[in-house]
Amino acid sequence: MTSIPDRRQAFELVEQAMAQGARQAKACELLGISARTYQRWTRKGGIVPDGRPEASRPAPANRLSEAERAHIVEVCNRPEYANLPPCQIVPALADQGEYLASESTFYRILREAGQANRRGRAQPPRRRAKPKSYCATGPNQVWSWDITYLASTIRGAFYRLYLVLDIYSRKIVGWEVHERESAAHAAELIRKACLAEKVTRPGLVLHADNGSPMKGATLMATLQQLGVVPSFSRPSVSNDNPYSESLFRTLKYTPTWPQKPFESLNAARQWVHEFVSWYNGSHRHSALKFVTPNERHEGRDTVLLAKRKAVYETARKRHPERWSGPTRNWEPVVEVWLNPDCPQALAGPENERIAA
């Protein structure tokens, strides 16, 4: 529905256009309304308000009577139906040779009577808030970690791979393979990773999902001792931990991924060791302008990307006719966000940018 001020503004614009020689239909078309709508708005010599909210409409011919509606509410409140939803009440009545109304009508009448509630002990679904956004502008500011399964030769038995990733450089800063999930294993891994990366000042953010090892008391106490800030995904929302999920995809689709299950725990650890060495030292990451995680983590990517830019500029000067536009953008990525909000909200207080 269009408000009176909007109708008045449209009237003034159309009148102004018509005074300058425009046709009414064309002027209305530019405003997204028809000439008939404009004529209906301006009948009786003024701007007419929308009459639809106050319109008197006849009751539908198939409308249930008040007695029938009351009977449906009474049936739903009987002891044998009190804990059942309409989708079960209607078939149960049909089995007894009785049909009162459709399921949607049952729901609508119960809703109007204030009785459209969850039946039994069921709780209404809750909307969980999105995790806090973090922005990393340097290494060892925001880490992401998770656990994935590695198949063993015993059907149904798996080894657990713990991986910790720096989202700024994509470097794997810590990993371990164990036979079970444990908060104690996770705590020891985070402690070793902090020692290896020389993380001494508090403020490092560690993001994970909601698994029991991620929220275990042993790990929480270790994070508090190390001054690490825990961050968690929403339940069953894998998109909240995208960096770890993407790393697991790379790990399990690399050409060297074994075609058969790992024969032993040591075999799994040996393979992961080789993968981490390749990933950190040789894998040119597409999100990092194709530099390796080690180069990015150690700050050598800026010089490498500047050299690439110079090579491209030289090639363009040598054969300018082969270039229809600017050379490829080799500027380094400055900010890496974890669970960013919309661009308008990135500067809000609920988001945090971590200084380098």
Residue spans per domain, the chain: 4-45, 82-117, 133-283
Compute the distance between CA of residue 317 and CA of residue 330 in angstroms, rounded to an integer: 17
Q: Give the three-class secondary structure for 291.
A: strand
Compute the distance between CA of residue 327 and CA of residue 310 in angstroms, rounded to an integer: 10
Token duo for residue 127: 């909307």
Compute the distance between CA of residue 297 and CA of residue 299 in angstroms, rounded to an integer: 6
Please give the angle made by the CA atoms of 318, 321 and 325, to the nearest 5 degrees: 100
Confidence tier at 133 by pLDDT (50, 70, 90): very high
Compute the distance between CA of residue 178 and CA of residue 9 in angstroms, rounded to an integer: 70
User: By mean pLDDT, which of 49-58, 194-203, 302-311 is the weakest?
Assistant: 49-58
To the nearest 5 percent, what fractions of the chain are helix, strand and coil?
Answer: 45, 15, 40
Question: Which residue has 């459709």 as its token pair?
Answer: 102
**What pLDDT sits at residue 139?**
96
Q: Which of 96, 101, 106, 95 is nearest to 73 (CA)?
A: 106
The correct CATH number of 133-283 out of 1.10.10.10, 3.40.50.300, 3.30.420.10, 3.40.50.2000 is 3.30.420.10
Q: Which of 188, 198, 201, 195 is nearest to 228 (CA)?
A: 201
Mean pLDDT, all residues of the chain: 89
- How much is the average pLDDT of 30-47? 84
Q: What are phi and psi of 162, to 5 degrees?
A: -95, 125
Q: Which residues pair with 142 in a beta bridge?
A: 205
**What pLDDT sits at residue 347?**
46
Q: Which residues pair with 146 in a beta bridge?
A: 163
Strand 229-232, strand 205-208: pairing: parallel
Return the amino acid letter for 184: A
- Sheet (strand 205-208) strand order: 172-178, 158-166, 142-151, 205-208, 229-232
Residue 128 confidence (pLDDT) above 70: yes
24: phi > 0 → left, psi -120 to 50 → alpha, else beta; which?
alpha
Confidence tier at 355 by pLDDT (50, 70, 90): very low
Side-chain-side CA neighbours of 285 within 13 Å: the count stands at: 25
**What pLDDT sits at residue 117?**
80
Token duo for residue 201: 């000042």
pLDDT in tens, 59-118: 788 889 999 999 999 999 999 998 888 999 999 999 999 999 999 999 999 999 998 887
User: By mean pLDDT, which of 69-73, 164-168, 349-353 is the weakest?
Assistant: 349-353
**What pLDDT sits at residue 6?**
85
Q: Are 240 and 231 in contact (CB under 8 A)?
A: no
Compute the distance between CA of residue 346 and CA of residue 196 in angstroms, rounded to an integer: 32
Residue 351 confidence (pLDDT) above 70: no
Q: Running DSSP on this structure, what letter comes out for residue 323?
A: -
Q: Which of 216, 236, 214, 208 is nearest to 128 (CA)?
A: 236
Compute the distance between CA of residue 58 and CA of residue 67 in angstroms, rounded to an integer: 19
- How much is the average pLDDT of 192-209? 94
Contacts 24+ apart (CB under 8 A), 76-79: 76/106, 76/110, 76/115, 77/115
Token duo for residue 247: 């790393």
pLDDT in tens, 208-266: 998 899 999 999 999 999 999 999 998 888 888 999 999 999 999 999 999 999 999 99
Q: What are phi and psi of 45, to 5 degrees?
A: 80, 10
User: By mean pLDDT, which of 27-36, 289-298, 341-350 is the weakest?
Assistant: 341-350
Residue 186 confidence (pLDDT) above 90: yes
Residue 346 confidence (pLDDT) above 60: no
